């Protein structure tokens, strides 16, 4: 088990809401990567969390960029560092929310990964446009209430499942991709450290609860993270050169409804919808285990 480094590169005095999962995400990421790291941040909660000019609560250089540019910005920073022959061990991180990754930023992300940019592209996933006030994104889970999927008489909660960014990244032949959960800081830090050792593009999908948008108790953020893992709603796995590894499997499994009931955004869901969600979660988990088995035991057996 990795020890959590004591060095703090995120100082107190941030602007995040109480119980913000994204705040944990940045803190643990910087603990893992250390100070030889540049971070570029598009429009998202983290464009505000570091502080208002002239304040800044992070001990790493920050480039704020436009919403859809995270991937291109990472490529630009890396190109300049290479052009200047500056130490190649610097981590160039693009740190975007789910909207800036899965929706408006997906083109620039795809470009950066396809070009083989040596960067860690992070999606801290709070499952909606939280900074603008809880609008649905492509990463909002099935069944969720948001301000643009309101639950009126027409029951217009989000009907579609989440966009699978890990699969999309895998389809780019990315050398390394991993999911991490702020409720499990050891593996969180371990996976970031592993990513830092790999040359080329890396993608890390962070599960980051948002009490404000999820209508959950700020004090329950870590607990919700644990339930997401135990209910298999957010599996913890990595893909290294095409090989899947579900690196942490729940010892005690719980039904999805135990996860859903912790958040007001799901409270409208009738029994049959919860069953549908349970079925989708089970199918995804099953598929994931099959991918793991197939890629480990058959597809890349010779390697």
Partner 1 sequence: MSEYKIVTGNYSSAYGARLARAEVVSAYPITPQTSVVEKIAEFVSDGKMDTEYVKVESEHSAMAGCIAASTTGARTYTATSAHGLALMHEMLMWASRARLPVVMTNVNRAMGPPWSVWADHLDTIAQKGTGWLQFFCENNQEVLDSILMAYKICEDEDIMLPGMIVEDAFILSHTREPVEIYDQEKVDEFLPPYDPDVKLDIENPAGFGSLVMPDWYMDFAKKLEEAMEGAKDKIKEVNKEFEETFGRDPGGLIEEYKTDGVDVLVITMGSISGTSKDVIDELRDEGHNIGLARLRTLRPFPKEEIRELTKNVNVVGILDRSYSFGAAGDAAREIKEALYGHNSPVVKNYIVGLGGRDLTPEILEKIFLDTIELQDKGLDQEVEWVDLRSDRKKWRR
| Contacting residue, 1, 6, 52, 298, with partner 1 by CB under 8 A | 52
Query: DSSP letter string over 171-234?
Result: TTT-SEEEEEETT-HHHHHHHHHHHHHS-SEEEEEEE---HHHHT--GGGHHHHHHHHHHTTSS
Nearer to partner 1, 65 or 179 (CB): 65
176-181 and 119-125 strand pairing: unpaired
Nearer to partner 1, 82 or 275 (CB): 82
Residue 217 has which token pair? 């108790």
Nearer to partner 1, 107 or 296 (CB): 107
Say if residues 154 and 199 touch (Cβ distance below 8 Å).
no
Q: Is 66 in the site for partner 1 (CB under 8 A)?
A: yes
Q: How many residues of this chain bind partner 1 (CB under 8 A)?
A: 43
**Rounded to whole angstroms, how far apart are CA atoms 247 and 225?**
16
Q: Is 7 in the site for partner 1 (CB under 8 A)?
A: no
User: What is the closest distance, in whole angstroms, from the C-beta atom of residue 190 to partner 1 in the complex?
Assistant: 23
Q: Is 120 in the site for partner 1 (CB under 8 A)?
A: no
| Contacting residue, 7, 13, 80, 219, with partner 1 by CB under 8 A | 80
Say if residues 101 and 165 touch (Cβ distance below 8 Å).
yes
User: What is the closest distance, in whole angstroms, from the C-beta atom of residue 170 to partner 1 in the complex?
Assistant: 19
Evaluate the omega torsion of the peptide bond into residue 247 and state whether it is cis, within 30 degrees of 0. Answer: no
Residues that bind partner 1 (CB under 8 A): 35-38, 40, 47-48, 50-53, 56, 58-66, 68-69, 71-77, 79-84, 90, 107-108, 110-111, 114-115
């Amino acid at each position: 088990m990795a020890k959590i480094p004591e060095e703090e590169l995120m100082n107190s005095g941030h602007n995040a809401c109480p119980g913000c999962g994204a705040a944990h995400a940045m803190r643990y990421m910087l603990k893992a990567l250390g100070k030889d790291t540049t971070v570029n941040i598009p429009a998202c909660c983290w464009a505000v969390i570091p502080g208002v000019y002239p304040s800044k609560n992070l001990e790493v250089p920050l480039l704020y960029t436009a919403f859809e540019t995270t991937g291109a910005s990472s490529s630009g920073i890396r190109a300049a560092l290479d052009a200047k022959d500056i130490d190649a061990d610097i981590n160039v991180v693009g740190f975007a929310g789910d909207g800036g990754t899965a929706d408006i930023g997906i083109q620039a992300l795809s470009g950066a990964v396809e070009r083989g940019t040596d960067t860690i592209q992070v999606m801290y996933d709070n499952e909606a446009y939280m900074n603008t006030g809880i609008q649905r994104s492509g990463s909002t889970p099935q069944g969720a209430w948001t301000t643009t999927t309101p639950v009126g008489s027409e029951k217009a909660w989000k009907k579609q499942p989440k966009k699978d960014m890990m699969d999309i990244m895998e389809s780019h032949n990315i050398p390394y991709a991993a999911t991490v959960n702020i409720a499990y800081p050891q593996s969180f830090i371990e996976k970031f450290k592993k990513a830092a050792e790999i040359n080329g593009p890396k993608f890390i999908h962070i599960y980051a609860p948002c009490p404000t948008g999820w209508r959950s108790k700020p004090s329950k953020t870590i607990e919700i993270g644990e339930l997401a893992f135990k209910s298999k709603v957010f599996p913890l796995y990595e893909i290294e050169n095409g090989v899947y590894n579900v690196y942490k499997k729940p010892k005690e499994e719980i039904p999805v409804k135990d996860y859903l009931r912790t958040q007001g955004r799901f409270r409208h869901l009738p029994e049959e919808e919860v069953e549908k969600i349970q079925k989708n979660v089970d199918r995804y988990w099953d598929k994931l285990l099959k991918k793991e088995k197939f890629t480990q035991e058959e597809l890349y057996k010779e390697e």
